Each structure stands twice: as structure tokens, then as C-alpha cells.
Amino acid sequence: MKSLKILFILFCTVLIFACSGYGEKLQYNKTEVYYTADIEKLEAEKLGEFLVSSGFAGENEKSVQLSKNEETGNYQFRMVTTVEAANSESYQTIFKMFAKQISDSVFNKKPVDFHVCNNTFETLKVIPFK
């Protein structure tokens, strides 16, 4: 009976961690790259390598998530940042340029929408690919 209880607790713990909703996680320097079920691991790895080579994934801790929009098929680069950055026009310009670089360098020029997110990957602002 005791071993059954321990097994149940272990199962619940694994279930909680597996259902974070952020997806699978890769680590590049101090940058966490999560990717959802609609993204191939190879795509996420290619993104991670780009983040390192571009200098994005460096000494500062960052969290990003890669997913796809089911309706449009666009990639979604989701980055945790601040409300101030979400509302800043100068940051929006930077985010647009970065999405374009990701599109060109990682996804063979396929559209990448930039999602400015809070620390639970809730979208604060979408900067659509143009």
C-alpha cells in the first residue's frame, strides 16, 4: 500500500512538470528555448543555434518559445519581456527586424510573427510579419 502511494505521488509530480504548457525545453547559454508540439525539434535547435550566433543567447537569462499559428501557418517567436517593451515603438521596430532575421536565417524566409509575452508566455502584443 505504501509503495502504491509513493508511485501515485511520483506520477502526479511528473504530470505537473510535463504539463507546464510551455512545451519541450532546450538550453542555449542562459536562454531557454521552449517549443510546442507543432514544431520539430530540429527547427527549435536551428533557432537556438541562430540565437547563439546572433549574440541573443548570451550571459543574460532569457526565455523564448517557438510555436506555429494554426490558421496562418506562420511561425511564432514568443519572447518574455516587459509591458513597457510591449508598448514601446522603438522596441517594436527592433522586434520586427529580429523576426525578419529569424525568418531569413532560420526558416527559409517563412513568416515569423513576434509575440511580446509576460513571464508565463501570455501574449501582451503581436507584431505580425510583413
* Model confidence pLDDT, tens digit, residues 50-76: 999 999 998 899 999 999 999 999 999
**What is the structure's pLDDT at 118?**
94
Check pLDDT > 80 for residue 79: yes
Q: 15-24: per-residue pLDDT in tens? A: 334 445 799 9
Which of 52-91 are b and which e, b meaning 16 or more Cβ less than 10 Å from the residue's Cβ?
Answer: eeeebbeeeebbbbbbbeeeeebbbbbbbbeeebbebeeb
Q: Cell match 514601446: residue?
A: 88
